[in-house]
Structure 1
């Protein structure tokens, strides 16, 4: 793994409109869900994003009268003839306008036609997620080509409870199970709490030995070694955890964490990392390669204080648009009102999970995912699963659906 992949990245400044009045970015989308995702995903990438209702036809009409932006996103979902309309769009846009297209189609021939023959810079199949905005669209807004090589391999998702007791591990364990169940992905859960971690216990398994050794001595780690330090907790889910005594002094190295995650990315579709906060220098290697960081907090003043600090740290290491705020136990006794939370965050939480003390406690005691017994938890995790996996909940599909979800 290169040095740049294991260090904090310098983030580009948000794209600005030109002094002469040319806009940096305009989007035309045909549904409210995509509009909401774009607005939240672009907040750190574009200074003044314009997201308008309407698909490609609205864009054609608009740029017959006004100057096209430097980067344009158009939705072709409602188009009966997207090829012809994209050709018409090219006739009203400036030659240097970068055109990004979103739509419902997932066949490879369509992708090749619009990117190779019509000159579109990128095509993204729905559902549109914040991760796709940051990974596929973000580089164009920064004036660079996407780093395709950097996106290969399994997706790393770091789950961080902003303070003890907010339910970070609960979210990690249940999210892993939900991703595996609904997308049929192979999922790894890596618990970096080497002392007192709860992932294995909540998953109903006994931690295998030697994870600490792997993290401290990367030179001994290979695929076979990782197989020996993991244990299956469910179909398509494997747990990587340790159970070091409290008087132990584990010292994972940055190279050790980077090597373990690199090997996990080669073998699993999604790697969910249960992260300590604040992270050690070694733990930060997971954040440096994460596609998303989930900050789990509860509706109380202590959490609101810590979530702002955690968000600033995670955004620096993970990158703009990749941090999601997960409000857990939203209606617990004594909870702050949603208006106070939204005002403190200057935004609504990305995901809200209701308070389910009986179900969560019972599941923890039995060593099983709580979503097995809670439809409410499954519903709450559904949008989060779609965001971190990049694909809709599985209802069939095939190889091309997965191709376009990368």
Structure 2
């Protein structure tokens, strides 16, 4: 049986494919615009799904539903269209093609939303059949030949040594970001042998991740959808369960291709990395928007953080390095003040020792975040940093674009 057949055969129950997505969906405020849209696109689509309401209605609906391949939104009743598009970006899969209509006809606004916000095309009201057919029809033909300019970003979570709780931090960070922002979040566990992400989430792995990392030319978006496990409506997991005897040969090309595909499917990809990093892990660190180092309150971790930061500085990328002190206050451990003194700076996030919640959650295959308010509070600053303005509503998507974030 071919490797791709193996993946399909072992596809977890409840996993969804890209065929589950609606090809086209529009949110329109008025009957006249709806009628013109239908006439203009009649030669390109057999079925044209239109719902009444503007972009805010689209945002509310897409918090619960899968994103269509092509989405038309009406901005005409919106006082803050740029902010509304920012909100839409938080709930949509990054590969959606967004077409917009509205009342603003100035060229500055057109450039702002098409060049800065990834909107594929914009038309002003009143719509004409010719404009819809000529400008929107070109985007709809072949279901979005020109994909959105947006792409998800990567967060690399790396322990400075084994046993510091890297997977616990990565999993619960991903779940909290998804909850706070309603973004589509992917979890990629690159511990190919003896990884624990799937166990912690009561998920069943397939052979897909190994195939993707070893044979980049055999992987496409449908393959990744089938190989991943649906954890919730907004979270997917891609992990492996290779035995210690497995001769696994991942490549930098494989992880690059995999991340490219995940970035079209997820707004944020949280990657659980091995340490020290090999070629595959270095490639992840090179493209990450944030690099998270997880440590424990002991002398060895303090030493290893300094070494890890030097290593990170040699990998081309200007991304910030964030430090998480895990299990602070555990018996016999260094005090947080002593850790700060040893590092020469305060950890960005301090997670307290939770000897009852975390082991119990791991054994039950239930995320600790669900039962531990202390863990939720501790990870909140990191989740807000990773989620950006989607979590803390400070500034717009355009502001982040202008700042190069």
Looking at structure 2, the residues matched to 322 and 375 of structure 1 have their Cα atoms a distance apart, in angstroms, of: 27
Which residues in structure 2 correspond to 1:2-401 (within 5 Å)? 108=82, 152-317=150-315, 319-320=317-318, 322-393=320-391, 401=396
Going from structure 1 to structure 2, the CA distance change for 1:364 and 1:405 (only over 3 Å counts) comes to farther
CA contact (8 A) 2:82 2:396 kept: no
Hey, what does 1:56 align to over in structure 2? none
- Structure 1 residue 219: Cα displacement: 0.2
Going from structure 1 to structure 2, the CA distance change for 1:180 and 1:405 (only over 3 Å counts) comes to farther
Looking at structure 1, the residues matched to 397 and 179 of structure 2 have their Cα atoms a distance apart, in angstroms, of: 16
SS at match of 2:328: coil
CA contact (8 A) 2:289 2:319 kept: no
CA contact (8 A) 2:160 2:301 kept: yes
Looking at structure 1, the residues matched to 273 and 390 of structure 2 have their Cα atoms a distance apart, in angstroms, of: 26
Q: Alpha carbon RMSD of aligned pairs, Å?
A: 2.8
SS at match of 2:250: coil
- Structure 1 residue 405: Cα displacement: 4.9
How big is each residue's C-alpha offset from its partner over 1:198-247, in whole Å with a ceiling of 9 and x where there is no partner?
Answer: 11111110112221011000000100010111001123111000000101
Looking at structure 2, the residues matched to 376 and 401 of structure 1 have their Cα atoms a distance apart, in angstroms, of: 30
Hey, what does 2:104 align to over in structure 1? none
Looking at structure 1, the residues matched to 195 and 253 of structure 2 have their Cα atoms a distance apart, in angstroms, of: 21
TM-score, structure 1 as length reference: 0.61
- Structure 1 residue 311: Cα displacement: 1.4
Looking at structure 2, the residues matched to 155 and 106 of structure 1 have their Cα atoms a distance apart, in angstroms, of: 25
- Structure 1 residue 320: Cα displacement: 3.9
CA contact (8 A) 1:154 1:266 kept: yes
CA contact (8 A) 1:159 1:295 kept: yes
- Structure 1 residue 285: Cα displacement: 0.9
Looking at structure 1, the residues matched to 291 and 207 of structure 2 have their Cα atoms a distance apart, in angstroms, of: 27
- The count of residues paired between Structure 1 and Structure 2 equals 264
How big is each residue's C-alpha offset from its partner over 1:154-191, in whole Å with a ceiling of 9 and x where there is no partner?
Answer: 11000001111100000001001001111001000001
Looking at structure 2, the residues matched to 107 and 321 of structure 1 have their Cα atoms a distance apart, in angstroms, of: 30
Q: Which runs of 4+ in 1 moved over 6 A?
A: none
